[in-house]
Amino acid sequence: MKKLINAPATVLDEFMRGFARANSSLVSLHTDPVHFSRAVPASSPKVGVISGGGSGHEPLGGGYVGPGMLDAAAPGAFFSSPTPDQILAATSSADQGRGVVHLVLNYTGDILNFEAAAELADLEGIEVETVVLDDDVAVEDSTYTAGRRGVAGTIVTMKLAGAAAERGDGLADVVRIAKKANTNMGTMGLALEACTVPTVGRPSFDLGPNEIEIGIGVHGEPGVRRGEMTTADEITDILLERVISDLKITSGDRVLLFVNGLGGTPLSEQFILFNHAADVLDSLGVTIERSLVGNYFTSLEMKGASITLLRLDDELTELFDAPVHTSGWRAGA
């Protein structure tokens, strides 16, 4: 394992402190229990929006805390759920008296711990609503889930729900937006090479020199099938076809086309996937109304990518375009 670290046991603490120092105008790091909150509270009380999950998916986590997106985040250990007390602390920190939305990626551990935290928050008089995010169309049920997994598209739901809260929407409306985004979102990915979790010390799975895994999970969980390496266009066709079919995207639809890099795949390759996906969508009469390409939801240095479609309407497009000011996603004023 060749990594820029000091010791596996200190990686999490050191990187979080480095992150918080580099982004001190946006995010505050709290310890005991560990969570991130906005450095500057909203100017008037709003619905709180939080998320949480395993580390190793940066900038997911503290990187999406800031105006227009999350109020707080609870980061677990690498690829591990945060604890209920972390989630409770993030919830309390996000609470401004108008309720807090928990955006929970659908992994069994996360679901259980967010549920426990929501009960504790209820005892503290904080109204919590939970929206489970499960955009991965590759597999139903899997290593760590009952039902679909939450993968790259979840960060778009965080952005849209965050924008709704930021403009002053009430709890029910923020929940409605998050559910609408999740329902109209589909993602599918593939991996060329595994990543190595520092505390594990060996790659999370093995792929032969000419082998890829289609439908891979963001923790290296098995996907749909292993197969021989093929062209970017053929891979794009496989991923996109499944997403299109799942969402029943048809001619006349307007979409966000989002290509996400898993960490070790150059931007240039991500743009090659985008280019062919755009050709396919054009040929189907689907309008690419918004685009997003980059390493938004990584799996450490995993090589691979995913393709996400979100069916847009005027409401979702307006929320997508709203200003966001986080270290991982910035746009608008």
Q: Is 219 one of the annotated active-site residues of the chain?
A: yes
Rounded to 10 deg, the angle between the 108-123 and 84-94 helix axes is 50
User: Closer to a copy of itself at the Cβ: 6 or 43?
Assistant: 6
User: Closer to a copy of itself at the Cβ: 178 or 240?
Assistant: 240
CB of 76 to a copy of itself, least distance (A): 13
Give a three-class secondary structure readout of the chain: CCCCCCCHHHHHHHHHHHHHHHCCCCEEEECCCCEEEECCCCCCCCCEEEEEEEECCCCCCHHHECCCCECEEEEEEECCCCCHHHHHHHHHHHCCCCCEEEEEECCHHHHHHHHHHHHHHHHCCCCEEEEEECCECCCCCECCECCCCCCCCHHHHHHHHHHHHHCCCCHHHHHHHHHHHHHCEEEEEEEEECCECCCCCCECCCCCCCEEEECCCCCCCCCCEEEECCCHHHHHHHHHHHHHHHHCCCCCCEEEEEEEECECCCHHHHHHHHHHHHHHHHHCCCEEEEEEEECCCCCCCEEEEEEEEEECCHHHHHHHHCCEECCCCEECC
User: Closer to a copy of itself at the Cβ: 129 or 269?
Assistant: 269
CB of 289 to a copy of itself, least distance (A): 11
CB of 303 to a copy of itself, least distance (A): 7
Which residue among 57, 102, 276, 325 is the active-site one? 57
CB of 138 to a copy of itself, least distance (A): 17
Which residue among 35, 102, 219, 325 is the active-site one? 219
CB of 218 to a copy of itself, least distance (A): 13
What residues are paired with 212 via a beta bridge?
A: 227
CB of 308 to a copy of itself, least distance (A): 13
Q: Is 57 one of the annotated active-site residues of the chain?
A: yes
Interface residues with a copy of itself (CB under 8 A) are 2-7, 11, 14-19, 21-23, 55-56, 58-59, 63, 192-193, 195, 209-210, 212, 229, 231-233, 235, 257, 259, 263-276, 278, 288, 291-293, 295, 298, 300-301, 303, 305, 330-331, 333
User: Closer to a copy of itself at the Cβ: 259 or 316?
Assistant: 259
Q: What angle do CA 7, 299, 221 make, to 5 degrees?
A: 110
User: Closer to a copy of itself at the Cβ: 173 or 233?
Assistant: 233
User: Closer to a copy of itself at the Cβ: 17 or 172?
Assistant: 17
- Which residues does the annotation mark as catalytic? 57, 219
